[in-house]
Amino acid sequence: MASATHELTLEEANANPAPENLVVRFAGDSGDGMQLTGGQFTLATALAGNDLATFPDFPAEIRAPQGTLFGVSAFQINFGSTAIETAGDQPDVLIAMNPAALKVNVQQLKTGGLIIADEGEFTARNLAKAGYEVSPLTDNSLAKWQVIAFNISQMTLDAVKPFGLGNKEALRCKNMWTLGLACWMFDRERGPLVDWLKTKFASAPVLADANIAALNAGHAYGETAELGPSVKQHSMPAAPAEPGLYRTVTGAEAIAMGLVAGTQLAGLKMFFGGYPITPASAILHYLSRLKEFGVTTFQAEDEIAAISSAIGASYAGSLGVTSSSGPGIALKGEAMGLAIMTELPLVIINSQRGGPSTGLPTKTEQSDLYQAVYGRNGDAPMPVIAARSPSDAFDVAIEAVRLAVRYMTPVMLLTDGYIANAAEPWKVPDTDAFEPFPVTFAEAREGEHFLPYGRDEKLARPWVKPGTPGLIHRIGGIEKAVETGHIDYSPANHQAMTKFRRMKIDGIADDIPPQDVTLGEDRGKLVIVGWGSTFGPIHQAVRRQRAKGRDVHHIHIRHIWPLPRNLGALLKNYDRVVVPEMNSGQLKTVLRDQYLVDARSIAKVSGQPFRIAEIEAAIESYLS
C-alpha cells in the first residue's frame, strides 16, 4: 500500500472545522460499474438522512476501449447536514479505479483532497493507455493532494475466491469492495445494500454472495487497516427536513410520475409515443412500468412516427405525450406545427443535451431555448416551461398537462441531461392536496350547429372524441376557417386564425403565477436570472454573496413562454440583470427583446453544469 499524507497542525485543524457537506466522486472505466456504485451509495446516504445531489457523468461512446480516457465513467455525490442544491463544485474525495479515471478527474479535486486509487490497475499497459509515461502514484505529480493507493483488484479476488468465480467475473465485484470501503469511511449502513444485492441476483445466488463478500471485505479493510490520518471515518449528521415520506428521485422518474399525476387530475388516459435517444430514453422506460395508471407506451420506428402517434392519441381523446432531445425535437418540428394548427393537447418533453447536430449525447446544455420558443415554421406559438431540479420536474410535468388540456395546445417541457440523470431527495406529496382540472369533451346539443373552432373565454376550442354523434368536423394541416373548421386559406382568414392562436398562448400569462424573487428583494443593484438546472449553483452563489453583505438577488423563471406578466417591471427594478446559461445567451436575448432591459450573459457550453464558484466570481465582478 502506497500513501502520502500531510500531518495537520492544531492551528490548521481549528481553522478548518468539520464540514457540513462532502463531495465524493467515484470514477473508473465504463465497465467498472461506477454508476451502479454511486447509485447505491446515494441510497445509503439518503437512508442516513443526509440531503444530497448527484451528478452522473458517463462517456458518450457506447463502449470505448477499456482503460482509455474516452471510456471514463464518473458519479459525483454532494451530501451533508444542510440543504444541498448542487452536486458540488470540486470533490473532496476522488476514488479512481484506473489511471485513465485519475487523469480525467484529478484536476477537479480540491487542493488537499483525498485520492484513493486501485494500485492493481496501474500497470504499464494501463498507464500507456492513459498517456502516462510513469506512474503518477510514484512521481510526486500528485503532491498537492493526499494519496492512498492499494490493490483493490487483488483484495477483491481474495474476498470472492471461495465462490469459484473466474477472474473476469470476480473482478466485476470490485465496485462492491469499493462501495464497502466508502460505507465505512462515511458511516453508512450496509444492510439495505445487502438486501438489494440479494434481490438483484436472486436468480444467481452465488453472484449475490460474492458481491456481498466483496462489500463486507471493503468495509472490514477500512475498519482494520491503519490507513493513516488521510482516511478516517466521517459521521455526517442528518439534514433537517419536514416530516413526511421521502425517496430519491431522478428527473426522468419525476417527469414520468408527474405526467401520470397530471393525466389522473385531468381524468384522462395517457399515450406516450417515443423513440430512444440519450438522455430522454429513461422517461419511456419508467412510463412503461406504469400501465396500471392508464398509460400506453409505444416505441416508434423514428421521431416523426413517435410524435405523429401521440397527436393521433390526442385526437382520439387521450393525452398524447412525446419525448426527445434536441436532434429529435428538430425532426418533430413539422408535426408540432400540425398539433398547433389542429389545436390538440400534446406534451413534448425536451431533455436537452449538447449540440448542434448529434452533439454531446451524454453531456448537459440549455441550448434548445430558441428551438422551443421559435423553432417551427410559420407563426406557431406554444407554451414552454422549464424544470429547475429533479424533484421540481414532477410539478412542472403536472403544469404541462394542465396547460395542454386547458388551452388545447401543445406544451414543451424543458429539462436537460443533468436534471434527467441526477438524483435528489423528494418529499412525496399528499395527492389529496392537488386540485383536479377534469376535461370535458364536447357533446352534441339539440338545435345547435357544432363549431369545431368556436372558442371559449380562454380562446380554446372544444375537444371532440371521434365518433361522437352530431359532431362530425374537419381537422388537418391546412388552414381552417374561423369557427367552422372548413378549409380556408384566404388571406383574411389566415390572418385571423394566426391572430387567434397567438392570442390564446399570450393569454396563458393570465393563468400562471406572477414571477417571484427566489432569494432577496424585489429591487437592488444586481439580479441573477436563471432558468432550468442553473437553479442550484445560482441559488448557492447568491446566498453566499448575500451573507457577505452584497446587494445581489435571484430570480428563477419556470414559465419561459409566455413569460409572467410582471417580469418586465420586476427586472427594471434592478441596476444590472445577469443571466447565467449553459448556452451562448438565449434567455438573455429573449429578455432583451421582450423588455428592452440591458441583460448580460454568463455563457457556459462545456457540457458540464455551472460551478458555484463561477457564478460567485461573476457576481463579484459585476458588483465591483
Kindly give, in sequence order, each residue whose CB lies less than 8 Å from that of residue 428, ignoring residues fewer than 6 positions away.
Answer: 244, 245, 246, 247
The pLDDT-based confidence of 1 (bands split at 50, 70, 90) is low
pLDDT of residue 31: 85
The per-residue pLDDT for range 510-553, each reduced to its tens digit, is 999 999 999 999 999 999 999 999 999 999 999 999 999 999 99
**At 365, which amino acid appears?**
E
pLDDT per residue as tens digits for the range 283-292: 999 999 999 9
- The whole-number pLDDT of residue 7 equals 47
Quick one: pLDDT at residue 379?
94
User: Which tens digits make up the pLDDT trace of 8-57?
Assistant: 454 544 455 557 899 999 999 988 899 999 999 999 999 999 999 999 99
Short-list 527, 474, 20, CA closest to 238: 20
pLDDT of amino acid 11: 57
User: Does 321 have pLDDT greater than 60?
Assistant: yes
Supply the DSSP symbol for 432: G
Look at residue 502 and give its three-state secondary structure.
helix
The pTM assigned to this predicted structure is: 0.93
**Residue 62, C-beta contacts closer than 8 angstroms, at least 6 positions apart:** none
Q: Is 175 in a helix, a strand, or coil?
A: helix
> What is the residue-averaged pLDDT of the chain?
94
Determine how many CB atoms are found less than 10 A away from the CB of residue 289: 11
Distance, in Å, from the CA atom of 416 to the CA atom of 393, rounded to the nearest integer, reads 11
Beta-bridged to residue 552, according to DSSP, are 526
Query: So what's the pLDDT on residue 64?
Result: 83
Pair 55, 609: CB distance under 8 Å? yes
Q: Is the peptide bond before 356 cis (omega within 30 degrees of 0)?
A: yes
Query: Would you say residue 6 has pLDDT above 70?
Result: no
Q: Note the pLDDT tens digit of each residue in 122-149.
A: 999 999 999 999 999 999 999 999 999 9
User: How confident is the model at residue 230, as a pLDDT?
Assistant: 67
Residues in the chain: 624
Q: What is the pLDDT of residues 416-447, one digit of tens each?
A: 999 999 999 999 999 889 999 999 999 988 77
pLDDT in tens, 437-483: 999 999 988 778 899 999 999 999 999 999 999 999 888 889 999 99
Predicted local confidence at residue 447, as pLDDT: 74
pLDDT, residue 8, reads 44
What is the pLDDT at residue 137?
A: 95
Hey, which bits of 304-452 come out as E strands? Answer: 319-324, 346-352, 384-386, 410-416, 423-427
- β-strand partners of 555: 529
Pairing label, strands 93-96, 21-29: parallel
Q: Using 50, 70 and 90 to split pLDDT, how confident is the model at 3?
A: very low
**Residue predicted with more confidence, 318 or 224:** 318
How far apart (Å, rounded) are the C-alpha atoms in residues 238 and 84? 12
The C-alpha cell at 239 is 439534514
Residue 18's pLDDT is what?
58
Range of weakest confidence among 139-148, 172-181, 234-243: 234-243
Residue 204 confidence class, pLDDT cut points 50, 70, 90: very high
Q: What is the pLDDT of residue 17?
A: 53
pLDDT number for residue 387: 98
- The answer to whether the beta carbons of residues 450 and 444 sit under 8 Å apart is yes
The tens digit of pLDDT for each residue in 330-342 reads 999 999 999 999 9
pLDDT the model gives residue 5: 44
